[in-house]
Structure 1
């Protein structure tokens, strides 16, 4: 392995120093994807400077013009440039949107116009990326063990946890294969398998629904593919049993999560007249239908009594926000309700110190102390959707805010469907849509969190058709689908675009773009 590393990072006799710098810049770029927004920009800047310093412009431009897949992919940027013609917010269009999407043209142009890397260097790139992701998870684990991490999203210390989860899914499958190709030493291959198992565990701990869904779809796709294209009854039976086991597992999880959400326990009219043990009346808010594990949250509330009891056991004021920014009062209401308890002194006294600490840390359901992180995350999302459907209020919850943004985006799109609002006017479009649907969201400076809607708002249905066609023809012309890991990348992209706008994010764009270029332009051989 040492000799391989030395060969990769040493200047060969028949290459210029600029070719070595180009490779080092690529290494820096992919190592920065899970670790640093700033270094992504630095690596792209250094790569551009090196390209200019190398000269040979005519030869390099001709190399790019001879590469049809590269031209097709780079021309996506042109669609956004054309979208500036009818935009009104040039500051956002030039200063953010076009600048953020510049790698679509710039990185594609540099890679397509540069000389091909050696086989050893090509094989090294996925390993360097995998190691960067692996080190990031180890740093996240260190923070988890040494600091009080309340939200599992903090397990991604440098970039948005969803993008880290997407990278982890790719690396789980890519790293062992990359190690196997670069060295015949089985120790390294077995080490990569162990690392992939660790990353799988970390993905579950991270509890990103997008990442978990990407993993499930990848496994399902290849399981079905294995059934239909693999010869041999035994192998097919194993694949079918695997799918059935996965289906049963998903069903059990769904039943476990759905059971508390579908339960409805209505109070008895006579019991509602009862007093607390201290002789105080309960308040029953029949106008608020919110439930927790089937019980009404705002029934049987003795607020003053509960407040006094709470402040005797906690350093947090009852009306303050806890460690996660959630109001202690309502977290306590939900937690007590989840156990079927009333909101009074007697109920609070029955809680352990661990449960009091849980409420302080924003845990609103006693089941969250018993379930693994992925189940908790799924239950939270479903509860948010349930309450959104009941109340129509999206505030305070990520998914329900996105649901309002999706509705608003669609309303804005219907206003200007053909060409959209312009590349720079996406925020204005969202503001119009939120007003149109009478949304209660206070923060209007947000984007759709859906790549399809984002494109529709910027460049309309015509722009969406053009961009989709460009992506399709790039894949077809480059023959990138012959690489199994590019198929995984495509699955990750297709799953993510419904809850994210990866093309509008520096990390998401450069992650998807680099590996599209890697498998589409750089790796000629399978």
Structure 2
């Protein structure tokens, strides 16, 4: 049997590993959890552990009960195998409250180690994600969007994790004696990666969380760093509102209010016009001057992707073609298509709906508004 000090070191090592692996995917998390569980049982001393749980008013037991809720609902699952897989994924809900709750609390020094390793793991994962996004590392995902760069978990979960980390870092910058230069650089880096992934849910959540921090910062703005941080946050909020306002205004801007009076294409096909639909693309009305038959023929002569098929992002290709032609102010017919270069044909095939190059966040906002 190992000495208590040795078990404590193992506990701290695997807990720190778990903190770092939160950002690095399932495998390192599983290894860390197995290590914590093995150390828990090898340490024995169950009476002392139970005494620690009692001192915490059985809260670890209550938290572990969340797993039992999942277990109770298992017989009602439509697919028992899916239900078992969900239980496997949520097994930490059973183990972690018991393991951590029955172990003496971390000292300030130990807590600092765990926090540092968390941010170290986060830094490694964000660098990896960035290298994937610029095609220096490969990914198995193939949606054709920047979200493929989130290789460790879904892009939404990863973006929410980044948002939480930014808020946590702001809190530590105010409350703890952090290196202000390093924390500021890390904040800028995390913000850059978050906006590169362009997940609106996480960005909106971060924006609301930052707004909620303002009263706290206003009350604690005595030292110069807090004043600087408050200034940066206010500038960020004003800039974000101005940016969003400009993007939305530009999306709904109509360059020519007058609806089309054209009846047929140059080749004689009768245009499809829905003059009651006011959807626009780059300021031009989308659902007018559409000659689908001749456009389909012209497209299939220029591309290996079928007009009625999908583009490389899995979108309806003809809708992508309509939007791209509209963004240039062209009619949706063979004459309009003939004005596109081979490079622009390739852009349509890749799923681009506009000839204007928008950044990832603008694309997400415009996609949301279009839907």
TM-score (norm 1): 0.59
Deviation at 1:93, TM superposition (A): 8.0
Confirm whether residue 282 of structure 1 aligns to residue 270 of structure 2: yes
2:211 to 215, 220, 226: 220
2:33 to 44, 48, 65: 44
Alignment of structure 1 residues 162-181 onto 2, 5 Å: 162-175=156-169
Deviation at 1:152, TM superposition (A): 1.5
2:247 to 240, 256, 263: 256
1:470-514 CA-partner distances (Å, limit 9, x unpaired): xxxxxxxxxxxxxxxxxxxxxxxxxxxxxxxxxxxxxxxxxxxxx
Deviation at 1:212, TM superposition (A): 1.1
Query: Are 2:271 and 2:289, in contact at CA under 8 Å, matched by a contact in 1?
Result: yes
Which blocks of at least 5 consecutive residues in structure 1 are unaligned? 1-12, 385-526
2:259 to 261, 267, 272: 267
C-alpha distance in structure 1 between counterparts of 2:16 and 2:227, whole Å? 40
C-alpha distance in structure 1 between counterparts of 2:349 and 2:170, whole Å? 42
1:380 to 345, 362, 367: 367
Query: Are 2:66 and 2:93, in contact at CA under 8 Å, matched by a contact in 1?
Result: yes
Confirm whether residue 154 of structure 1 aligns to residue 141 of structure 2: no
Deviation at 1:275, TM superposition (A): 2.6
Query: Are 1:133 and 1:167, in contact at CA under 8 Å, matched by a contact in 2?
Result: no
For structure 1, which segment, 32-41 or 14-23, has the greater mean C-alpha deviation from structure 2 after superposition?
A: 14-23
2:65 to 67, 75, 80: 75
C-alpha distance in structure 2 between counterparts of 1:38 and 1:94, whole Å? 21
C-alpha distance in structure 2 between counterparts of 1:285 and 1:37, whole Å? 52
Query: Are 1:136 and 1:156, in contact at CA under 8 Å, matched by a contact in 2?
Result: no
How large is the RMSD of aligned CA atoms in angstroms?
Answer: 3.7
Deviation at 1:322, TM superposition (A): 2.1
Alignment of structure 1 residues 397-476 onto 2, 5 Å: none
Deviation at 1:161, TM superposition (A): 1.1
The aligned counterpart of 1:301 is 290
2:181 to 165, 181, 190: 190
C-alpha distance in structure 2 between counterparts of 1:288 and 1:124, whole Å? 62
C-alpha distance in structure 1 between counterparts of 2:181 and 2:40, whole Å? 39
C-alpha distance in structure 2 between counterparts of 1:287 and 1:256, whole Å? 25
Confirm whether residue 291 of structure 1 aligns to residue 279 of structure 2: yes
How many residues are treated as equivalent by the alignment?
360
2:202 to 208, 211, 216: 211
Deviation at 1:307, TM superposition (A): 3.2
User: Structure 1 residues 173 and 229 mapped into 2: Cα distance closer, same or farther (>3 Å)?
Assistant: closer
Query: Are 1:227 and 1:239, in contact at CA under 8 Å, matched by a contact in 2?
Result: yes
Query: Are 2:70 and 2:87, in contact at CA under 8 Å, matched by a contact in 1?
Result: yes
Deviation at 1:242, TM superposition (A): 5.7
Deviation at 1:83, TM superposition (A): 4.8
1:153-185 CA-partner distances (Å, limit 9, x unpaired): 11212211122212222333545876999998x
The aligned counterpart of 1:358 is 347
Confirm whether residue 32 of structure 1 aligns to residue 26 of structure 2: no
User: Structure 1 residues 338 and 117 mapped into 2: Cα distance closer, same or farther (>3 Å)?
Assistant: same
